[in-house]
Chain A
Amino acid sequence: MKNRKLNSDIRHCLLIAMVACIICPLSSCKKYLEAKSDQSITTPSTIDDLEGLMNAYSVINADYPSAPEVMADNFYLLNTDYLSLSQRQRDIYSWTKSADVGGDYTAPYQAIAYTNIVLDALPKVTANGQARKDAVKGEALFTRASYHFALAQLFAAAYDQASAGTDLGIALRLTADIESKAPRASMAETYASITGDLQQALTLLPDMPAAKYLPGRAAAYGMLSRVYLAMRDYPKAGACADSCLTLYHTLLDYNTVAVSATAPFQQFNAEVIYDARSSPPSSLTQSRAKIDTALYRSYNGNDLRKTAYFKANADGTQAYKGSYTGLTNGALFTGIATDEILLTKAECAARAGKNADALLALNTLLEQRWKKGTFIPYTTTDNGQLLSIILQERRKELLFRGVRLMDLKRLNKEPDYAQVIYRKLGGTLLTLEPNSPRYLLQIDQNAVNIGGLVQNP
């Protein structure tokens, strides 16, 4: 009897111990509860995480705005095609104030947020050797500057040295903290931030990276030369172009390219220094966007670009097919390539009165664009004529690259090159005057309402 009592006491104790075991040791709970709930979800804490973020091609490389080309004068739409577009695309094409700019505003800022997440996390990340951290930091700075620059082309006026201190620039996002506010900076601050980020990137990036979707110093110099060009700081633009070309200067010889192919150029081809693109807007599909007739006619029959860049539609109009994205869906190549840098170099040299340097750069490029043996190098000694030729060749080489709007805007500041551009739509003629506020898109409505940003006129 006593034994049984003892037994049952032991049993009681065991049971109570079991209960206690489960309830009490909450100290070990902490570890138990720190297990990740989704193995593929984590927080940015390792160098791999940050490199992975910079490898998010769709966000980091492929989300540049397409509006700069849709607003520019390299193509036109038939009225029927125009009417089949969404309201937003119609408004952008027809230089109408659109309340809803959509992805052309939000996507660049998303990419900038990625770079800020990387930049904010970097100091806490440990890596073997500084090189990987430096490279990621350089990539993030380069990307942040590039997108800020792309935004400045659409949402701010052309840079004007005289009034940059007071002209309205864009909102500069320099932190990942979503609670911090960033009002629109002045043009001077905007461009100082962009050039500052790029200058800092130059100190961190390798000369040429492992893959062309990552930026290197060549890309950073290339982007800087583009930025200084937009600022009409021609000496600096020229110097950066030179530095870029010192690091990388390969050109594609179009004689070796299957120019009549549907898509003659590969992504990451030899001429590409940094690969980037826009999303494909419905207004730029091959079936809709017709190449400006005068522009098309300006290509010589021996100019291989005439075949490489264009294909004839059934109705005799021309469609564009020469994108360095390797795609034919209307996405713009917005990255850096040797041809653009050579043209910048040529322009800056001409503007500095160095005609020989300018001619050399221009002829070097065109040599590779014409059928072997047909190109007669330019030899003009007239500086003004030379600049016009360079600007014309710039337009012919860099169409559907997202730089035309920038060129129009900066040249509109120079009476000699300012021009009115036109659109014909079902019998009405639309005009866009130089320096018109319609060169600027409207700031996103939520940014105005919630963020309190100043709206464009």
Chain B
Amino acid sequence: MKRYLLIFLLTAGLFDMSRLSAQNIRPVYGEVRGAQHEPITGAGLRFALSKSSSMTDSTGRFTIMMRMAADTLIISHVGYTTLRIPLSMNSRLPLLVELQPYTEQLNEVLISTGYQEIPRERATGSFYHLDKELIGSRNTPDLISRLNGLTSSLLVDNHFPAQPTVQVRGLNTLNYANAAPLIVLDNFPYAGDISNINPNDIESITLLKDAAASSIWGARAGNGVIVITTRHARRNQPLQVSLNANVTIAPKPDLFSADQISSVSLVDLQQYLYGKGFYNSLFNARTRPPIPEVAEILQKQAAGQLTAAQAAQQLSVLKTQDVRSDMEKYLYRPQVNQQYYLNLSGSGNNIRYLISTGYDRTGSTLKGNDQERLTVRSNNLIDLTKKWQLQTDLILTKTSQRANSPGGYGQITNGTTAISPYARLVNPDGSPAAVDIYYRSFYTDTAGAGKLLDWKYRPLQELASNDRTTGVTDLLANIGSTYKVSNWLTADVKYQYEQSWSDYRELNDLNTFFTRNYINRFTQINGNTVTYIVPKNDILNGTRTSQRTQSARAQLTIDHSWADSRINAIAGGEIRESNSDASSYRTYGYDPQSLTSVNVDYTHTYPTYGNIGGITYLADGTLYKQYLNRFVSVFANAAYTYKNRYTLSASARRDASNLFGVATNQKWVPLWSAGGLWRIHDEPFYHISWLPSLNLRLSYGVSGNLLPNATSITRIQYYTASQSPINVPFVGVAAPPVPQLRWEQVHSWNEGIDFELLNRRISGSVDVYQKNSTDLMNSVLLDPTVGFSTYNENSASIRSHGVDVVLNSVNLDGALKWRTLLLFNYVSYKTTKNLNPPASQGLVSDGLYIFPVVGYNPYVIVSYRWAGLDPQTGDPQGYVNGKVSKDYQAITQNPVSEQAISGSAIPPVFGTLRNNLDWKNWSLSWNITYRFNYFFRRPVVNYSDLINKNIGYSEYDQRWQKPGDEAFTNVPSFVYPDNTLRDNFYRYAEVNVEKADNIKLTDLSLSYQWAPKSKPLGFHSLTFTFYTNQMNIMLWRANKRGLDPDIIYNVKPPVTYAAGIKATL
């Protein structure tokens, strides 16, 4: 290294002088050695300008003719960092060159596709690489939230917060469940739950964006591929120990950030409804449905059980209650997460090893819920001989989860009836209060005259009694062997075995509503005799699943260079099988002390108590499922590089799978891609000094997407007797046949440039792409006369185009270092074909679900045009044939061309601005995300939901009440009887669509690294980091209502604060 520096200084110093002399030819000779002073054979040498080239011999020596007064000698070899040495005629000879092994610690980036590692400088495809620093910039326990906003062209769609989905370069399928990118862990698709992976174990993540990058994954690459590379042991590294610990705290969420109708308004409304007789049919209903407390009070008053004054007093109490305060107080708590991680790695003569263990305890703001995860990993690389290497990797993950909360805000429902906004969870004496979401309290108060079990549902009693746990054990074992057949040929065999067991167990004791209710429903009372059809003890429910995946791959890798050429190719085959089993059980009369249970009769019907549920069989919770997926693939990928300037690549893959069962005709689908790379800056004519690096990339290819639920023939499914109303096993038609079934295909073009400018202070890439996704499976409406209302067939296409920009800049490079990363993504897509379009008349949508209308984005928000409120009645008005109308039936038949079309509910423009400041030992980084040009539909009051399900919003108070109100409100008047069509018209009216554009500060981290020279405590360094996540601080937003478009349907998640320490020994 020192020697090289010396050469560099000498040559640099003489550089200017050498320009004066010209037309000299001089042989340059020297030696190329590695870090251990070993001679390097076959290293390529060439001059950047004169193009003369040479190679080192078996002793590492070389001679090359220098034909210009000043030129740059480029020395490269596989596995080593390419070196550029400016030379002049006066440079001192012999030249002693030391090449550094190619490792990621240097600035070279190796891109992993899961099949091979390609140096970025020869990659024709479009990749995005996240290094450890970016992955570590947040400390969230899961990977998806770490990728969110920090990955080019990746969008996390939070429409359904419990189930965020990931889009890479837009939407390529219409099948929501199959729109996720493929996740590859090291070498194989990861079948387990992504949350099993400890982010601390991850070295880097590569996103394969275009066809040239991803098509090696064939029929599973259509939605993009995310390749996760775990940390590996390194060569020549002494024992290194690092320890991470951090604690995250989140305060209770602010439930009052959720919009809700006021208790005062709701009580008044229900009082009005009572007067209209709305509840009359419910009072005597056989099923004893819950009735709002207001109606119960008024009914008691009518029956003379309460005086008018008492009733009025009780109603006024209800008006002061808000369920959110009780929920916040009794169901929520501040969340605490802990994360610990220990990593040991090192190497001996022939072995490299890495052992890590991590423990995460992730709390929840909901009392009763939490999760623990333990990961243990051992990674070894053993050099059996100089040419033969063995790799082993073992990851064991154990998670256990408790889910004992009865649910948070908006989650306590019986399916239709939600908890009343004026309910309380605690009685004045502090005991858990009953809420009526299953039955009327008037009924449960007296039913059975004391002979039944308590029949009330109390959320806090549930919280105390629930015992629901899930335990998951996941074992992932990899074993691989690499044999270097010759200098240029390597053979690899890899095998992966993954087994995971998951055990969900729900012990419902006699305190839980579930068990009390079930026993009561089947209790038979005859005089003083009480017969329990369901044994009066606990009910144990459970589901066990196990999944086993085995993959094997054999692969030949060629890396050969001669003269100006270089070939890098792989070819191989792969076989993969994944088996899963699931079984569910239910045990009645379970006694956790003696571990006994009681047999029940599943074969006869029993009347339910008071005929509340008719006459039925006892539920038999037994269910078995078994799945088997098999894939067989062959693949090849080759790249040819000429003069290190031009690279051409091609790849092909064929896949087969048993997913199509009998439809063998479609099994072998060839998928391919081709790409080219031109390193313009290496051309002799290239002299743009401010742009020292410029590459051009071009690729085209086809990748696929498979849908497990399609079949070309009628598919039937067996059901067990317990699923039949007459207790007889039967067969159902699972799907009608799809005679012309094919796999979905994504054809994509990508053009990209990579550049470095202004002294390499700015670097980045711009990619422009076009995709045409064809043969997409789509639900097609059928004439229901054929027996099915819809079916899926390869009937649709999506065309998309977009731009990804990545810009890295070093703004300040002194004592204060300021770096910026700017990600800009634009993607626009629309449905171009839909064989059997959904009835174009009457289309309205929220953009929450895929709705493919030709010519529009599948997530388009379409609304009824709005003509204001009727000044006389407060009825909402729309248009029919261009005329203002209140004929809601006719309005629902309007063609799309007469609807108001807002645009996509998913942002087509999004990105991140990340800044890093480093000063001495301090480092500060923060992320600002932006999302533009999208829309959302505000949830609005729906009178039908309000009167039937207790769901309402505060805008109820702004409803039209008297003529003149229409000047300042769009909320229709309340009418009784309720008119569902009118409700729906308003819900889908254009006035409720808002622009969603926003800029947010999402997270921030500050760290201090202490690296004492003397190692007083045995540490190399100590890093203290402070993080805040989920900040969601709006720097700007387009909507005037103060709504955060990403969390409109839910309670705003609280900001989390974390502090961590990392020690390196």
Residues of A within 8 A of B (CB): 11-12, 15-16, 18-19, 21-23, 26, 29-30, 32-44, 49, 52-53, 55-59, 62, 78, 80-81, 83-84, 86-87, 99, 105-106, 109-114, 116-117, 171, 173, 176, 178-179, 182, 211, 213, 262-263, 267, 285-288, 313-314, 326-329, 444-447, 449-453
Docked-complex contact B889 and A173, CB < 8 angstroms: no
Docked-complex contact B731 and A450, CB < 8 angstroms: no
Docked-complex contact A173 and B786, CB < 8 angstroms: yes
With A and B bound together, what is the CA distance between A57 and B723 in angstroms?
Answer: 10
Contacts of B980 in A (CB 8 A): 86-87
Report if A450-B781 is in contact (Cβ < 8 Å); known contacts: A178-B786, A328-B286. Answer: yes
The 8 Å CB contact of A179, one of B658, B662, B734, B739, is B739
With A and B bound together, what is the CA distance between A301 and B627 in angstroms?
Answer: 62
The 8 Å CB contact of B716, one of A18, A42, A262, A263, is A42
Docked-complex contact B628 and A37, CB < 8 angstroms: yes
Report if A87-B981 is in contact (Cβ < 8 Å); known contacts: A11-B483, A19-B555, A263-B615. Answer: yes
A63 to chain B, nearest CB (A): 11
With A and B bound together, what is the CA distance between A26 and B277 in angstroms?
Answer: 72
7 contacts between A and B (CB under 8 A): A23-B554, A40-B624, A53-B716, A57-B730, A81-B281, A113-B733, A179-B739
With A and B bound together, what is the CA distance between A109 and B736 in angstroms?
Answer: 13
Docked-complex contact B286 and A52, CB < 8 angstroms: no
Contacts of B278 in A (CB 8 A): 80, 83-84
> 1/0 per residue B563-579: CB within 8 Å of A?
00000000011110000
The 8 Å CB contact of B656, one of A33, A173, A262, is A33
Docked-complex contact A109 and B785, CB < 8 angstroms: yes
With A and B bound together, what is the CA distance between A53 and B731 in angstroms?
Answer: 5
Docked-complex contact A314 and B483, CB < 8 angstroms: no
Report if A15-B493 is in contact (Cβ < 8 Å); known contacts: A112-B787, A449-B839. Answer: yes
Docked-complex contact A22 and B281, CB < 8 angstroms: no
Docked-complex contact B731 and A49, CB < 8 angstroms: yes
Contacts of A57 in B (CB 8 A): 724-726, 728, 730
> 1/0 per residue B471-489: CB within 8 Å of A?
0000000000001010000
With A and B bound together, what is the CA distance between A33 and B713 in angstroms?
Answer: 17
Docked-complex contact B714 and A43, CB < 8 angstroms: yes
Contacts of B855 in A (CB 8 A): none
The 8 Å CB contact of A326, one of B605, B628, B732, is B605
The 8 Å CB contact of A114, one of B628, B784, B787, is B787
* CB closest residue in chain A, given B654: A26
Contacts of B574 in A (CB 8 A): 22
With A and B bound together, what is the CA distance between A451 and B789 in angstroms?
Answer: 11
Q: Does B783 contact A (CB under 8 A)?
A: yes
The 8 Å CB contact of B281, one of A34, A52, A112, A288, is A288
* CB closest residue in chain A, given B554: A19
A255 to chain B, nearest CB (A): 22
Docked-complex contact B632 and A29, CB < 8 angstroms: yes
Task: Tell me the residues in window 569-626 of chain B with beta carbons closer than 8 Å to chain A beta carbons.
Answer: 572-575, 605, 607, 611, 614-615, 624-626
With A and B bound together, what is the CA distance between A326 and B711 in angstroms?
Answer: 39
B636 to chain A, nearest CB (A): 10
Q: Does B664 contact A (CB under 8 A)?
A: yes
Docked-complex contact B725 and A62, CB < 8 angstroms: yes
Q: Does B441 contact A (CB under 8 A)?
A: no
Residues of B within 8 A of A (CB): 276-278, 280-282, 284-286, 483, 485, 491, 493, 552-556, 572-575, 605, 607, 611, 614-615, 624-630, 632, 634, 656-659, 661-662, 664, 667, 708, 711, 713-718, 724-726, 728-734, 736-737, 739, 781-789, 791, 836, 839, 889, 976-978, 980-981
Docked-complex contact A105 and B784, CB < 8 angstroms: yes
Docked-complex contact A34 and B730, CB < 8 angstroms: no
* CB closest residue in chain A, given B736: A178
The 8 Å CB contact of A450, one of B284, B611, B711, B783, is B783
* Max count, chain B CB within 10 A of own CB: residue among A11, A19, A26: A19
* CB closest residue in chain B, given A326: B615
B732 to chain A, nearest CB (A): 5
* CB closest residue in chain A, given B977: A83
With A and B bound together, what is the CA distance between A55 and B624 in angstroms?
Answer: 20
Docked-complex contact A213 and B629, CB < 8 angstroms: no
Contacts of B624 in A (CB 8 A): 40
* CB closest residue in chain A, given B284: A287
Report if A43-B554 is in contact (Cβ < 8 Å); known contacts: A22-B575, A26-B632, A451-B785. Answer: no
* CB closest residue in chain B, given A23: B573
* CB closest residue in chain B, given A111: B787
Contacts of B632 in A (CB 8 A): 26, 29, 32-33
B492 to chain A, nearest CB (A): 9
Docked-complex contact A32 and B658, CB < 8 angstroms: yes
Contacts of A267 in B (CB 8 A): 605, 615, 726
A253 to chain B, nearest CB (A): 22
Docked-complex contact A447 and B783, CB < 8 angstroms: yes
Docked-complex contact A446 and B284, CB < 8 angstroms: no
B10 to chain A, nearest CB (A): 45
With A and B bound together, what is the CA distance between A223 and B730 in angstroms?
Answer: 24
B576 to chain A, nearest CB (A): 11
* Max count, chain B CB within 10 A of own CB: residue among A38, A99, A313: A38
Task: Give me 15 other A-B pairs in contact (C-beta within 8 A), A80-B277, A327-B615 excluded.
Answer: A23-B573, A40-B625, A43-B662, A52-B716, A57-B724, A59-B732, A80-B278, A83-B976, A83-B977, A83-B978, A84-B278, A84-B977, A106-B784, A178-B791, A328-B611
